[in-house]
């Protein structure tokens, strides 16, 4: 009888070979205690967190935590229902209001995760004879949104304006088109040329969706993301975002100014056929989003952290994903998975957690040590982090 | 040469820069198994083909194309539809 698990044998073999060398499993870390947005206890050891996407450090904000506790008391632990049946409480409406205010947009729709927001909006908006034009390095949730729908999928080379332009030109003028872009691409931390791409897309009659998961709260004057920073947010039809990064909890959303947007609540299957977020989660999210509106000082400090880490790692001799810091993600490029895993473990032993990222999540088969900074990392911590990278780099032979 | 022969000849030329193993190309050559192309190579090659013939080969079409012959058939259809 065929074993349906056989298809995973190559991956099982690769993992076994890696772990046989005695390395700690990089995909099985447990945080025994979390002290703050920047420090946890892992394997009994105090560990600086540099791979959490907790960009604005809202997870332990006293107002945010208090709002969650109150909602638990007032509304219970969960809704046990779909948004369109018994799963919309006052808190769900309140967090959608907070999003409308944050983005200054007419409509906001909250999903149970950011993954489901992309899955739902992309699969629902682009029908059978429509085209989805997307960057080849798009996040898995975007590809899965394409796979869940049945539109025609046209990829273009990463951040290549001319490649997008050519494809838009060759598509039938009368066909429906959705261009899907990301503000910050999370693997290398690079930013999209949205100004040019959004203008080209609109000129070709396409609607534009921008995933701003990794820029919310941090990039742009009001923290609305790369589209705001590049002055094209009014031309974007859909912004997708998440509560699991700067907002500091879990959940996803789409905001839009389209007059017919609300119909999505009835036709979008990943919105309808799942349980809504627990009351405590939407309460923490709403409180956090409102506080993020007024966080210019934290944004400035996060940029300082990002610049300092980028310059410091470069000076040490590491190869980085971008020539200049473009976001709060700094990706350190490793020569191969074995070296990457060894370096990851050496950093953990030093007391630093980063993400080890590998194909298929990464572009061009790269192995990355991905660092994401937090506005609450202190200057001293960034100094400590650089010291740990230097020590781990020498211990593993990454640095001479 | 017929249209199809011309398309085939040009396709074989465009395969050459990515044919690192020097596989002898026929209509039956398979991109994944015989040429062992990864997804990035496919992207570059498809972009080159799209530019050459001024067409779009969607990912949906790519999923159906396994061999050089199938690609040539698809290109013949796409260029004919445009004319």
pLDDT of B1 > 70? The answer is no
Closest approach of A154 to chain B, Cα-based (Å) = 5
Task: Summarize pLDDT for A11-49 with one digit per residue, the tens.
Answer: 999 889 988 988 888 888 999 999 999 999 999 999 999
- For A64, the token pair is 């945010």
* Residues of chain A with C-beta less than 8 angstroms from the C-beta of B43: 136, 155, 157
Using the Cα atoms of residue A140, residue A141, residue A145 and residue A148 in order, give the sign of their dihedral: positive
Report chain A's terminal Cα–Cα distance, integer Å: 53
- For A379, the token pair is 């200057």
Q: Is B40 on the interface with A (CB under 8 A)?
A: yes
Rounded to whole angstroms, how far apart are CA atoms A32 and A43? 7
* Smallest CA–CA distance from B51 into chain A, residue: A166
Cα dihedral value A316, A357, A338, A49, nearest 10: 60
* Residues of chain B with C-beta less than 8 angstroms from the C-beta of A363: 40
Q: Which of A154, A363, A365 sits opposite B56 (nearest CB)?
A: A154
Full 3-state SS string of A301-313: HHHHHHHHHHHHH
Domain limits at A307? 22-56+295-396
Q: Find the CATH number of the domain harbouring A101.
A: 3.40.640.10
Rounded to whole angstroms, how far apart are CA atoms A53 and A218? 11
A11 in any annotated domain: no
DSSP 8-state secondary structure symbol assigned to residue B24: P
Instruction: Mark A207-222 as b/e (b = at least 16 C-beta within 10 Å).
Output: bbbbbbbbbbbbbbeb
Rounded to whole angstroms, how far apart are CA atoms A147 and A154? 12
Binary contact (B40, A364; C-beta < 8 A): yes
Q: Which of A136, A167, A364 sits opposite B56 (nearest CB)?
A: A167
Q: Which of B47, B54, B60 sits opposite A157 (nearest CB)?
A: B47
Q: Find the CATH number of the domain harbouring A383.
A: 3.90.1150.10
Residue A301 and residue A243 share a domain: no
Q: Which residues are CB-contacts of A14 (< 8 A; sequence separation ≥ 6)?
A: A337
Task: Summarize pLDDT for A94-107 with one digit per residue, the tens.
Answer: 999 999 999 999 99
- Domain boundary residue, one of A277, A292, A307: A292
Residue A203 and residue A109 share a domain: yes
Confidence at A360, pLDDT banded by 50, 70, 90:
confident
Q: For chain B, state the CA radius of gyration.
A: 12
Residue window 147-166, chain A: list those with CB within 8 Å of chain B: 152-157, 163, 166
Q: Identify the pLDDT of residue B83.
A: 65
Task: Summarize pLDDT for A140-164 with one digit per residue, the tens.
Answer: 999 999 999 999 999 999 999 999 9
Contacts 24+ apart (CB under 8 A), A195-202: A195/A230, A195/A231, A195/A232, A196/A161, A197/A161, A197/A164, A198/A227, A198/A232, A198/A235, A198/A236, A199/A232, A199/A235, A200/A161, A200/A164, A200/A165, A200/A168, A201/A133, A201/A164, A201/A168, A201/A177, A202/A235
Q: Which of B38, B50, B59 sits opposite A153 (nearest CB)?
A: B59
**Would you call A395 helix, strand, or coil by DSSP?**
helix
A7 in any annotated domain: no
* Smallest CA–CA distance from A154 into chain B, residue: B58
Q: Find the CATH number of the domain harbouring B15.
A: 1.10.1200.10
Of the residues B42, B50, B59, the best mutation for testing chain A's interface (the one with the most A CB atoms within 10 Å of its CB) is B59
* Residues of chain A with C-beta less than 8 angstroms from the C-beta of B40: 363-365
Rounded to whole angstroms, how far apart are CA atoms A305 and A22? 34
Contact A353, A29 (CB under 8 A): yes
Confidence at A364, pLDDT banded by 50, 70, 90:
confident
pLDDT of A2 > 70? The answer is yes
CA distances from A80 to A75, A89, A92, A93 (A): 12, 11, 14, 17
Binary contact (A155, B43; C-beta < 8 A): yes
DSSP 8-state secondary structure symbol assigned to residue A165: H
Q: Identify the pLDDT of residue A23.
A: 85
Residue A268 and residue A392 share a domain: no
Q: Which residues are CB-contacts of A104 (< 8 A; sequence separation ≥ 6)?
A: A222, A224
For A365, list phi and psi in degrees, rounded to 5: 65, 20
Task: Summarize pLDDT for A110-141 with one digit per residue, the tens.
Answer: 999 999 999 999 999 999 999 999 999 999 99
- Complex ipTM, two decimals? 0.91
Rounded to whole angstroms, how far apart are CA atoms A211 and A188? 15
Residue A311 and residue A223 share a domain: no
Burial level of B63, CB count in 10 A (0-12/13-18/19+)? exposed
Closest approach of A170 to chain B, Cα-based (Å) = 6
Considering chain A, what is the average pLDDT of its residues? 96
Binary contact (B54, A167; C-beta < 8 A): no
Q: For chain A, state the CA radius of gyration.
A: 21
Q: Identify the pLDDT of residue A315.
A: 97
Q: What is the tally of structural domains in chain A?
A: 2
- Domain boundary residue, one of A240, A271, A292: A292
- This prediction has a pTM of 0.95
Residue A234 and residue A178 share a domain: yes
Domain limits at B42? 3-82
Helices (H) and strands (E) in chain B — how many of each?
4, 0
Residue A248 and residue A101 share a domain: yes
Residue A376 and residue A242 share a domain: no
- Domain boundary residue, one of A292, A321, A345: A292
């Amino acid at each position: 009888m065929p074993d349906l698990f056989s298809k995973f044998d190559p991956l099982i073999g690769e993992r076994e070979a890696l772990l046989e060398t005695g390395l700690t499993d990089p995909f099985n870390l447990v945080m025994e205690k979390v002290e703050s947005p920047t420090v946890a206890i892992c394997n009994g050891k105090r560990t600086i967190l540099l791979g959490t996407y907790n960009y604005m450090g809202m997870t332990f904000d006293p107002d945010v935590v208090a709002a969650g506790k109150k909602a638990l008391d007032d509304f219970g632990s969960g809704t046990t229902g779909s948004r369109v049946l018994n799963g919309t409480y006052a808190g769900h409406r309140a967090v959608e209001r907070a999003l409308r205010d944050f983005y200054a947009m007419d409509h906001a729709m909250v999903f149970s995760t950011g993954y489901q927001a992309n899955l739902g909006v992309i699969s629902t908006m682009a029908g059978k004879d429509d085209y989805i034009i997307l960057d080849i390095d798009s996040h898995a949730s975007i590809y899965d949104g394409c796979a869940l729908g049945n539109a025609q999928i046209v990829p273009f080379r990463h951040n290549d304006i001319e490649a997008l332009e050519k494809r838009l030109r060759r598509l039938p003028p009368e066909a429906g088109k959705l261009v899907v872009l990301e503000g910050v691409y999370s693997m290398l931390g690079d930013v999209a040329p949205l100004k040019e791409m959004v203008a080209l897309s609109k000129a070709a009659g396409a609607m534009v969706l921008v995933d701003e998961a990794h820029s919310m709260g941090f990039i742009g004057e009001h923290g609305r993301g790369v589209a705001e920073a590049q002055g094209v947010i009014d031309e974007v039809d859909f912004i997708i975002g998440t509560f699991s990064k700067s907002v500091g909890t879990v959940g996803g959303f789409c905001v839009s100014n389209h007059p017919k947007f609300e119909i999505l609540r009835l036709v979008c299957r990943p919105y309808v056929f799942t349980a809504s977020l627990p009351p405590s989660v939407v309460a923490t999210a709403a409180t956090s989003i409102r506080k993020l509106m007024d966080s210019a000082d934290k944004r400035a400090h996060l940029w300082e952290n990002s610049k300092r880490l980028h310059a410091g790692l470069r000076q040490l001799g590491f190869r980085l994903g971008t020539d200049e810091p473009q976001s709060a993600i700094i990706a350190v490029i490793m020569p191969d998975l074995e070296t990457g895993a060894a370096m990851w473990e050496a950093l953990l032993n030093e007391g630093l957690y980063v993400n080890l990222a590998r194909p298929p999540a990464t572009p061009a088969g790269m192995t990355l040590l991905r660092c994401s900074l937090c506005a609450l990392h202190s200057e001293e911590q960034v100094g400590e982090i650089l010291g740990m990278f230097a020590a781990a780099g020498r211990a593993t032979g990454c640095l001479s | 040469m017929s249209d199809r022969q011309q398309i085939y000849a040009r396709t074989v030329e465009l395969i050459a820069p990515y044919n690192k193993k020097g596989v002898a190309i026929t209509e039956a050559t398979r991109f994944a198994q015989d040429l062992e192309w990864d997804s990035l190579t496919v992207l570059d090659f498809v972009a080159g083909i799209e530019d050459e013939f001024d067409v779009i080969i969607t990912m949906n079409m790519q999923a159906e194309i396994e061999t050089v012959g199938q690609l040539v058939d698809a290109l013949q259809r796409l260029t004919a539809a445009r004319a």
